[in-house]
Amino acid sequence: MITTYVRRSATAVALALTALLSPVVAVPAAAAPLQLPEPTPVDTARDELADLTVEAPHPMNGYSRAKFPHWAQQGNNCDTREVVLKRDGKDVATDAQCRAVSGSWYSPYDGKTLNSASQVDIDHVVPLANAWRSGADGWTTPERKMFANDLEHSQLIAVSAASNRSKGDQSPDKWSPPNRAYWCTYSRAWVDIKHLYGLSVTPPEEEQLVTMLDTCE
């Protein structure tokens, strides 16, 4: 059964985002995380999901990807995309401009192994347009930039370009990873990001997230 929860106050969300944004320090590529951040445990994810506001999606009026400045510079000529390529790949070699020139990447969405960075997309687990429909329409540009370049939490992941483009900006009730073995991790990551940033979910989205969390052993 779908339950509608009371929306968090704007003050609480603002405080959470302020904590995320302060301080913002560029991270050199050599100091970037070596592993994809682990999503919240399943029991925590269930609690976080129960805490989210359930409502209809906000309109897309005024949306533009440019309002989420992404692939920000992270130091040593590396932008966010290049940091994630290095972090999520195996035996990744880069040139003087931090471009990945060799390596391999496993795409957990569809179970494919990729041998060229040109075949890899960096996915926003919670897509930018979905975030807009879920509450980011009320954020400032610096807040959206933080969301679009979040290397600390489970928001960015290297996946096959084909799976990323199949997903688009869809929520889990409309698109879930073809690799069902990844549903547990994906749903935990999705819920954790939405909870962290104070974003809402729709009733069908909540229902599918419950189903996906139920696949966790």
SS3 124: strand
Is 3 a member of any domain? no
Domain that holds residue 47: 10-213
Residue of 5 and 215 predicted with greater confidence:
215
Q: Report the C-alpha gap between 175 and 166 in whole angstroms.
A: 8
Place of tokens 């302060």: 22
C-alpha 65, offset from chain centre: 15
Is 208 a member of any domain? yes
SS3 166: helix
SS3 52: coil
Tell me the percentage of the chain whose pLDDT exceeds 90: 82
In this prediction, residue 35 carries a pLDDT of 79
Report how many domains make up the chain.
1
Mean pLDDT for 1-17 is 40
Residue 104 near residue 113, CB atoms below 8 Å: yes
Is 2 a member of any domain? no
Q: Report the C-alpha gap between 134 and 124 in whole angstroms.
A: 14
Is 57 a member of any domain? yes
Reply yes or no: is the peptide bond before residue 23 cis, omega within 30 of 0.
yes
Q: CA-CA distances (angstroms) from residue 95 to 3, 4, 102?
A: 51, 51, 10
Both structure tokens of 207: 């229902």
In this prediction, residue 72 carries a pLDDT of 97
Is 53 a member of any domain? yes
Is 4 a member of any domain? no
Is 5 a member of any domain? no
Q: Which of 21-35, 60-74, 113-127 has the lowest mean pLDDT?
A: 21-35
Residue of 22 and 130 predicted with greater confidence:
130
Is 189 a member of any domain? yes
Kindly report, residue by residue over 161-212, the tens digit of the pLDDT: 999 999 999 999 999 999 999 999 999 999 999 999 999 999 999 999 999 9
Kindly report, residue by residue over 58-110, the tens digit of the pLDDT: 999 999 999 999 999 999 899 999 999 999 999 999 999 999 999 999 999 99
